[in-house]
Structure 1
Amino acid sequence: MESNLFHLQYAIDTFYFLVCGALVMWMAAGFAMLESGLVRAKNTTEILTKNVALFAVACTMYLICGYAIMYGGSIVLSGMGDVDVDAVLGEFAGREDGFTGGSIYSGAADFFFQVVFVATAMSIVSGAVAERMKLWAFLVFAVFMTGFIYPLEGAWTWGGKDVFGMYNLGDLGFSDFAGSGIVHMAGAAAALAGVLLLGARKGKYGPNGEIRAFPGANMPLAAIGMFILWMGWFGFNGGSVLKLGDIANAHSVAMVFLNTNAAAAGGAIAALITARLMFGKADLTMLINGALAGLVVITAEPSTPSALTAAIFGAFGGVLVVLSVVTMDKLRIDDPVGAISVHGVCGLLGLLLVPVTNSDVSFSGQIIGALTIFVWVFIASLVVWGIIKAVMGLRVSEEDEYEGVDLSECGMEAYPEFVSSK
């Protein structure tokens, strides 16, 4: 009987990992739709190319070395192909935390769930550097981000390793349930480093400090992308419970889903109201980013708040993201989709809110953890971006930027029927 229970737990938890991983993978479509909706029509094909290619690069680099760096596993997953059932049962037999507490699942399922997270981190970078970066410069950076930069900071957090042999973030009281800092703030830090070296889009800021809006080409597409991300986030946060096969964890999964949804709704409402008060209009882009901000905030700890608290936390993110987007423009940090504000600023907020509902986490530990993640990713990214800039250049020519990077980088337009012939 006990053997049958272990078999059932292994099957349930492995299947749950795979389904949640598939939901997170679907977030790649959300990022592609969101970003292609928010950029101008002449840059649509290139942004879609980046999103497809970065996902492939992320999966390959994490397979080759990223997973090994982060968790000390085998290079190229050697040994993960077969499961020794007797060894698994022997490892957990007789343990009190067996069917009612411990996690047993396929190592391949764990890898699959982890690899889609690193792709998410890299997707954040894509939108921030849109419309003026060379495609191949971006993809070269993706190799280093997904293969080395992200896995190393992941090793210090989820991997439980000491930071350069000095201190362990977990021992300092740092906690990040599903990656507000480890995934989202890290992606934003890499994006910020690239944006600072890249510079603003031509004509975005005037000589007298004026800020010119560059409207996105397809608002329906951007809204659909947001909803895909919202749905995928249930796998992002829900899968991070790491287990489904008992009553306590099944209830925890349900609460995580509930709180994730509540935070997104709270963020959307708060951003909509804030934009109305500031601009006098209902701003769809702020509404979209408000929902995403709420999702990023709750990602740091979606299991301990009540649903109402989660909605309030999301609302904090919704207000903050509007203020942050406006501030970034005033600082002339050109981020076409607001990725740095959504994932970076609100990722930090999410980390700082964890101790409010989780007494096992210290505020000082969260600050140290956030600083460690940001400083490492930002500096490492700045170095890599700098080398790429020196070797091959980061930015397309002024003429190509004016004409649109679709033709110069990809040789095709996304909407050719709307281009008048001469």
Structure 2
Amino acid sequence: MTDLSIGLNTVWMLLAAMLVFFMQPGFAFCEAGFTRSKNTVNILFKNFVDFMVGSVLFWFVGFGFMFGSNGEGFIGAPNFCDLSFYTHPAGLPTEGFLMFQTVFCATSATIVSGAMAERTKFSMYVVYSILISLIIYPVEGHWTWGGGWLMNGAEDSFMMKTFGCTFHDFAGSAVVHSVGGVLAFIGAIALGPRIGKYDKNKKSKAIPGHSLTLAALGVFILWFGWFGFNPGSQLAAATAADREAISHVFLTTNLAAVAGGIATMCVTWIKYGKPSFSLTLNGILAGLVGITAGCDAVSPLGSLIIGLICGVVLVFAIEFIDTKLHIDDPVGASSVHGVCGILGTLLTGLFAVDGGLFYGGGWNFFGAQLLGIVCIDLWAAVTGIIMFYTIKKVAGLRVDRRVEEEGLDIYEHGESAYN
């Protein structure tokens, strides 16, 4: 590969990293808008903490856990502060590739904050953000993007001998979103619902967010950032084939987003008599999450169908988690990222043009997708249970009742977003 090709690929990778980084304010505005004004500083602060903590820890040791040991074993070898162990197979600069992977790590941690909003101690949030960036994300990332056992394409590997193919998650429906969603789900259970969320008969009561304007801006920013999240995972733009691949992923990503939004709008219109704007915002995100695993592998029509399925399922998932399981998730992170991340990973096994069940590929690829998502999310669930319930027992996860009622901004930070 020529220096010019490597240069073009490097610029594209770093530009995509910038777009994914810009998703942080998207998450911040979306979560702040869906929650009450008295907790806005707390929400915004957490999104900064995720990136600050994640950047340091992923550079210090997480990158080694994810990409060390040539992709062998359960976890990579730690290489504290030293990146010389790694050489990118396509010749991309290691430090640039580290930055690209760092913004994905921060995204996984950020997903959790929304489900646990308005009642979590800030100090304990910092603790579990550290643990996600340090160990939970890098380990399952090692199994997949780090060349570990789920992605090992050697003839004698477990995946090839069992399924004849490897697990496929192009940009992170499973690796980033489902893991964040599962951790959000476990965290919300460990915390318990917000005060006033359920009456004595366990009937759910709406607690409206303070600004759908902020939430809408956040979703627009996330949608924009996703054009770095998915197409950027191509990591190359120098050849005609690369450019075609990037363009294809742009198209499938956008089609799934609009299909998710349209599906949710229509379902809420039929189900509730009026189209719900707040749920439609989440429907767009549901489509984006769902297509992230297979955006490179499915056709435009397939991406549209995946978006429609995720947009429909989202409405029922949010309602089921809220009214049947009585788990309080203020922003719907468990449904958007958890349920739709799992769904998108599995649907890739059905709709992938090369190897998908609906294209005559049989059940092998779907089986690989099923095993991969089960193992990845089982890892997230087990580590999440250990982490959250240990923190809860040792130091307490939740703020005092008075702090929750009057707002975390003043009591936790001594500041207010709106003076």
Same fold (TM over 0.5): yes
2:83 touches 2:95 (CA, 8 Å); kept in 1?
no
Aligned to 1:335: 329
Q: How far is 1:194 from its partner?
A: 1.1
Counterpart CA distance in 2 for 1:29 and 1:352 is 29
Corresponding residue to 1:391 among 391, 394, 419: 394
Counterpart CA distance in 1 for 2:178 and 2:349 is 18
Counterpart CA distance in 2 for 1:258 and 1:110 is 25
Corresponding residue to 2:269 among 258, 271, 276: 276
Aligned to 1:253: 246
Q: How far is 1:282 from its partner?
A: 1.6
Counterpart CA distance in 2 for 1:257 and 1:80 is 33
- Is 1:220 the counterpart of 2:213? The answer is yes
Counterpart CA distance in 2 for 1:319 and 1:367 is 21
1:34 touches 1:224 (CA, 8 Å); kept in 2?
yes
Which deviations, in whole Å up to 9, do the C-alpha atoms of 1:197-235 show, x marking residues without a partner? Answer: 110101101112321001110111100000000000010
Q: How far is 1:103 from its partner?
A: 3.0
- Is 1:377 the counterpart of 2:380? The answer is yes
Q: How far is 1:357 from its partner?
A: 3.1
Aligned to 2:290: 297
Alignment of 1:229-244 (within 5 A): 229-244=222-237
Counterpart CA distance in 2 for 1:185 and 1:103 is 28
Aligned to 1:12: 8
Counterpart CA distance in 2 for 1:143 and 1:248 is 39
Aligned to 2:80: 75
State the SS of the aligned residue for 1:147: helix
Aligned to 1:154: 141
Structure showing greater Rg: 1
Corresponding residue to 1:134 among 121, 130, 137: 121
Amino acid at match of 1:276: W
State the SS of the aligned residue for 2:22: helix
**Deviation beyond 4 Å, 4+ runs, structure 1:** 167-172
Which deviations, in whole Å up to 9, do the C-alpha atoms of 1:333-378 show, x marking residues without a partner? Answer: 1100000000000001101111223334611111111110111111
- Is 1:177 the counterpart of 2:177? The answer is no
Distance 1:270-1:7 versus aligned 2 partners, 3 A rule: same
1:157 touches 1:169 (CA, 8 Å); kept in 2?
no
Counterpart CA distance in 2 for 1:42 and 1:22 is 30
Alignment of 1:52-201 (within 5 A): 52-72=48-68, 74-79=79-84, 103-162=90-149, 172=163, 173-201=166-194
Q: How far is 1:244 from its partner?
A: 1.0
1:13 touches 1:104 (CA, 8 Å); kept in 2?
no
2:83 touches 2:94 (CA, 8 Å); kept in 1?
no
2:105 touches 2:133 (CA, 8 Å); kept in 1?
yes
Counterpart CA distance in 1 for 2:82 and 2:108 is 21
Aligned to 2:72: none
Aligned to 1:353: 347
Over the aligned positions, Cα root-mean-square deviation in angstroms equals: 2.0
Which deviations, in whole Å up to 9, do the C-alpha atoms of 1:91-132 show, x marking residues without a partner? Answer: xxxxxxxxxxx8331111111110000100011001000000
Which deviations, in whole Å up to 9, do the C-alpha atoms of 1:383-422 show, x marking residues without a partner? Answer: 1112211221100001111001111111111112xxxxxx
Corresponding residue to 1:414 among 396, 414, 417: 417
Q: How far is 1:170 from its partner?
A: 7.2
Which deviations, in whole Å up to 9, do the C-alpha atoms of 1:291-322 show, x marking residues without a partner? Answer: 00000000011112222321221111111111
Counterpart CA distance in 2 for 1:265 and 1:284 is 14
Counterpart CA distance in 2 for 1:79 and 1:196 is 41
Moved more, 274-283 or 67-76: 67-76
Unaligned runs of at least 5 residues, structure 2: 69-77, 357-364
Q: How far is 1:53 from its partner?
A: 1.1
Counterpart CA distance in 1 for 2:328 and 2:351 is 35
2:60 touches 2:79 (CA, 8 Å); kept in 1?
no
Counterpart CA distance in 2 for 1:138 and 1:409 is 12
Aligned to 1:35: 31
Counterpart CA distance in 1 for 2:355 and 2:58 is 31
Amino acid at match of 2:174: G
Q: How far is 1:162 from its partner?
A: 3.4
2:259 touches 2:304 (CA, 8 Å); kept in 1?
yes
Q: How far is 1:279 from its partner?
A: 1.1
1:160 touches 1:170 (CA, 8 Å); kept in 2?
no
Amino acid at match of 2:206: A
Distance 1:198-1:224 versus aligned 2 partners, 3 A rule: same
Counterpart CA distance in 2 for 1:53 and 1:156 is 26
- Is 1:316 the counterpart of 2:309? The answer is yes
Counterpart CA distance in 1 for 2:349 and 2:339 is 18
2:41 touches 2:417 (CA, 8 Å); kept in 1?
yes
State the SS of the aligned residue for 2:230: helix
Counterpart CA distance in 2 for 1:79 and 1:156 is 21
Q: How far is 1:169 from its partner?
A: 5.5
- Is 1:404 the counterpart of 2:407? The answer is yes
Corresponding residue to 1:45 among 38, 41, 44: 41
Distance 1:55-1:170 versus aligned 2 partners, 3 A rule: farther
Counterpart CA distance in 2 for 1:80 and 1:25 is 25
Q: TM-score, normalised by structure 2?
A: 0.90
Amino acid at match of 2:134: G
Distance 1:143-1:174 versus aligned 2 partners, 3 A rule: same
